Structure 1
């Protein structure tokens, strides 16, 4: 018969079962698989267009983004529209009046000199900074100094008064100042000639004294810029309509929103890598502190990663159907498929935590919203459906229980979808809503079908002892159990009794009661090779051990453990069942044949010659089966079993095995051994309870006695 592949049976795998580097590699493998599956969901959309061509369809922006170029242009237009701000500079007023006053002083000095008029005129032309006509120069040398002084006072007064009020370069400010000079001279006491000279001197001295205030002007312009809002290209905004020419401006906008291959944003790829690292880190930390077998067992971790990756792969398949425009097909995501498998094969707590991680992945894979890489609605629905699968399946393993859990998942998903639809406050037609709810209902059904379909694969590939597998093995019609029943009926009855005791004891200490029961069913299957050499099968026949040597008897008796393990292996039963068959006697002593050999032998006989080959019990269920195997045989041989006698017998057997070191390689505690003793005694007392003797039974006894 072809042997079934078993990871537990591989020496290489045993070597790396709890190796840290293997765990890291498994997490890295999961991260790589997730990145490959999610890569396309974050890839930027690009189009193939060129300048001068016509758009084949409407092209809309996939993102909302600020158009820096248009924003800056609008801001500069607003700034240019701001009028410059001017400020009056009194220093200019003072300087111009001082220059004017100094000029008149020079004029008076030259006019008072005793030199010819021609020389005076030359000196005036050279000394006066203003450009005057000849009449003005002639007036200065012809008028007395006192008149020139009057002219000075009048002219400087007019200039100071006008410049003090301020003269702007804008809006004909200088012309208005000249007009004010004329107005002031019209009411003065000067004669016509002196008014003309004063007007000319005043106009020459007057200059604008309002200068540009750079700081205030820039502040006002910056305020104008700030008032201009950002020019935004919004998500969904049509950049170019079908049939329009791709102009330089349109091409620039296409590049800006990342629709051109050379401008595609690469950050989402890096973001996805960081996102997956965070998810894997969260899983790793949780598992490392979970206190469950997956914490150290790489075989279980590998199975978990397969389930996780398989669930995400199913999400990806659903995402492909989304591309076919089936409205609401995303609600079909069977996250509960993964959480139910994890609940049955690993642990419910791991499944509950994983539902949140899977939901975060679903938010990206199933996202149909172009404005964001994540759709939180799918995450929420995935969380509720995943939790429903883990909670309502519980410890159930039968197909009917899986289907029931799937139905609950369907109801929870329907309610979740309906709730999310209402919260989104969008108008949805009844036809569209009905389609959404239909896919939501199919969610749980698909999850349960996938769970039932993939369960045997994981059980076979990883030799998993799931509850459903154990229940299947407990069927009395199994070929090996039928073989025991037919060829060794006493052993079969003994195994059934041991199974009842073992299950009660295992459940009392929190061990796997179903594993203990099924292991007990098969623990003595090796006796079918030589059934009549075991006392429970010796009915109305002589004991064959009376005719053979003790050493040969020992060989026959001790062989049944290894024979049973080999038979179980040939029938592809799980490793744990094989281990129970091989370990339930450990290396305990065959006391009867040991003492018989000592009595018959002339030479010294050692205990090691009459011990089982082992190994000792490696796990609690194996130790329990070994205890109750001895207890059941011993109690069956008691003539008048009473609660006290049973209790003493059970505790003596446990004490003997403890002192003999049969639990040295098992993590069972003294407290658990005491709990086992109590559970076994309670079960045995229920079996060997006192029975009321009815009157008719007494009459039958009297008749028989006669």
Structure 2
């Protein structure tokens, strides 16, 4: 029998593994199909100079090299040529002016006194032409050849006739004007403009009108080219300007053409550059998405496999993971259809519903892992269909929202804990929304802050409401026994428990004792203590069919077994597990509870009636006095099988000492083990030892020795 059990367990394990892989593969395929549109570049059939039927955004970030080259070229062309200004030439030209005026001043200073101040001189007396010519000749000898060759003699003559004070003012104005103009640099093509500028200064000065023409002639000579093209410096400046030009980048999500806008040649080239006119679908994003889904499924297989080791991974639980994931993905996909860059509706997605259901129906570790996977999927779904990008903001928000739901759902046995978790989610959601608003460089109005915070509150509220509404559907539809369901079955006002209490009160009290022992023992070995307690409450409900045939209900009446045959008594006793299973099925109680009721005696032997029959009939068959089974299939059923026998045996003891309790528990455990009643359950010998010790400690606490108080002597 042992080897048959091992073979059965092996094939059951193989089937469970294949079922797990099939579930994960279907889930991965669903994730892939839902997110495929978010990574594939949509292509358009567009002609130049036509009107766009819809707004088209760039699916990727790419440099517009042609536009960058044009921008660089324009920047380089806009750089002015660089010139070297020769200060030597400026100094040379001003020196010429000083030379002219100094020479004239010297000649006038050396003129004889009687010639300058004759008694009969008048305003209209003219200087002797011979004297003037002599001075001009002397001036020629004094001045540089470059000056005399470039300036007409009439200019010198006019200056010789100018009063010294006016001549000094003229010199100062001319030197200053020439210096100012030449200091800025005069290129060959700008000489005439520079000379014209100096001429304008002289014309608008307060000098005597007779003095201005010679000054203008001297300025025409003095102002000359002093700025020369520097090819090396110009090339360096242009190179620097070109390196500072920012490349023209088309960002992912950037609008290239709006609906109704004409497709110009420039727009057409941009559309072609980003690949939306290429009918050949790019497979790399699809491959990348496939690799991401594969990695996510590997994580999910690992976690579901770990879950199966600690808690039997049946079809219902795998189906729960599958359907919860479908609900989560469907919620995100539907909301994404109405989400824009302005209206960030992903804040309102009640994504925490999924992890709340998983924690309530399965366990917390799996809920945490799934919260990370759901956040990754959400960051893809809400990427505005921009291939190659993830909405990190949505992913972070979803992760913190789900983690808040898991952390704040502390007491899974209290239905109000879901609402309490909703309050915790509200706080975390609003804080996360504010986090993004404050980190953003954009300015948000109070209306935006309240709107997006309101989305976070809505997500928390909807998550709690949907969890409360969907939980019974999963429990009933998939046959998953949650703590909420078990707690409701453990309430004393349950019809079946009232039935046991009223029709078989002894059995009711026996069941309560077995429940206490079983819950404590199961929790000691990591089994479901709450399931053991509820299963123990209902395990003997079959006794309500014929309650007086069971000793705990025989109060103030004769034992009916004394007047019937042992075989008949055995049939009545043996039928109670299966009568109980029938009753529980009729009232639609969960399968694990039904299984416990039908398995809690396994295939044990009714020794009392068997040996009583052997006294009458030596050919009595043992099989007729054994329960038909099945043997306990779960840890909880096995523990209840032991505790049921232990409670009845200890209750029959007149003086239950610690030694007697320990001996009777050990004998019952050994009997069940040697009789093969524990062969079909996953209990290990180490766990069985823990069960033994826990039952003994619990019973010793119940039947502890009481202090004998001294009796008061009668006076």
State the TM-score, normalized to the length of structure 2: 0.69
Shift of 1:249: 3.6
Is 1:464 the counterpart of 2:468? The answer is no
Q: Aligned match of 2:688 in 661, 665, 673?
A: 673
Q: Aligned match of 2:332 in 315, 318, 339?
A: 315
CA distance 1:636–1:44, shift in 2 (3 Å): same
Partner of 2:33: 36
Q: Aligned match of 1:18 in 10, 15, 19?
A: 15
Shift of 1:446: 1.6
Partner of 1:610: 625
Matches within 5 A, 1:37-436: 37-44=34-41, 49-54=46-51, 61=58, 63-70=60-67, 230-234=247-251, 239=256, 245-260=262-277, 262=279, 267-289=284-306, 292=309, 297-322=314-339, 327-368=343-384, 373-394=389-410, 396-436=412-452
Whether the aligned pair in 1 keeps the contact of 2:51 and 2:262 (CA below 8 Å) is yes
Whether the aligned pair in 1 keeps the contact of 2:40 and 2:387 (CA below 8 Å) is no
Deviates more, 1:70-79 or 1:485-494: 70-79
Partner of 1:202: none
* Structure-1 separation of matches of 2:441 and 2:73: 41
Whether the aligned pair in 2 keeps the contact of 1:17 and 1:299 (CA below 8 Å) is no
* Structure-2 separation of matches of 1:649 and 1:410: 55
Partner of 1:446: 462
Partner of 1:568: 584
Partner of 2:24: 27
Please give the secondary structure, in 1, of the residue aligned with 2:337. helix
Whether the aligned pair in 2 keeps the contact of 1:484 and 1:525 (CA below 8 Å) is yes
Deviates more, 1:461-470 or 1:367-376: 367-376
Deviates more, 1:222-231 or 1:28-37: 222-231
CA distance 1:338–1:260, shift in 2 (3 Å): same
CA distance 1:19–1:686, shift in 2 (3 Å): closer
Please give the secondary structure, in 2, of the residue aligned with 1:42. coil
Deviates more, 1:375-384 or 1:442-451: 442-451
Whether the aligned pair in 2 keeps the contact of 1:343 and 1:390 (CA below 8 Å) is yes
Deviations 1:509-534 (A, max 9, x none): 22111111100011001111111111
Shift of 1:611: 1.5
The size of the alignment, in residue pairs, is 547
Partner of 1:641: 656
Partner of 1:91: none
CA distance 1:286–1:503, shift in 2 (3 Å): closer
Consecutive unaligned residues of structure 2, counting only runs of 5 or more, are 1-7, 79-237
CA distance 1:362–1:470, shift in 2 (3 Å): same
* Structure-2 separation of matches of 1:443 and 1:282: 27
* Structure-2 separation of matches of 1:239 and 1:667: 64
Partner of 1:173: none
Shift of 1:226: 9.0
Whether the aligned pair in 2 keeps the contact of 1:18 and 1:298 (CA below 8 Å) is no
* Structure-2 separation of matches of 1:539 and 1:663: 34
Shift of 1:32: 2.3
CA distance 1:572–1:279, shift in 2 (3 Å): same
* Structure-2 separation of matches of 1:422 and 1:432: 12
State the TM-score, normalized to the length of structure 1: 0.70
* Structure-2 separation of matches of 1:698 and 1:549: 53
CA distance 1:480–1:312, shift in 2 (3 Å): same
Partner of 1:188: none
Please give the secondary structure, in 2, of the residue aligned with 1:469. helix
Partner of 1:501: 517
CA distance 1:585–1:264, shift in 2 (3 Å): closer
Consecutive unaligned residues of structure 1, counting only runs of 5 or more, are 1-10, 82-220
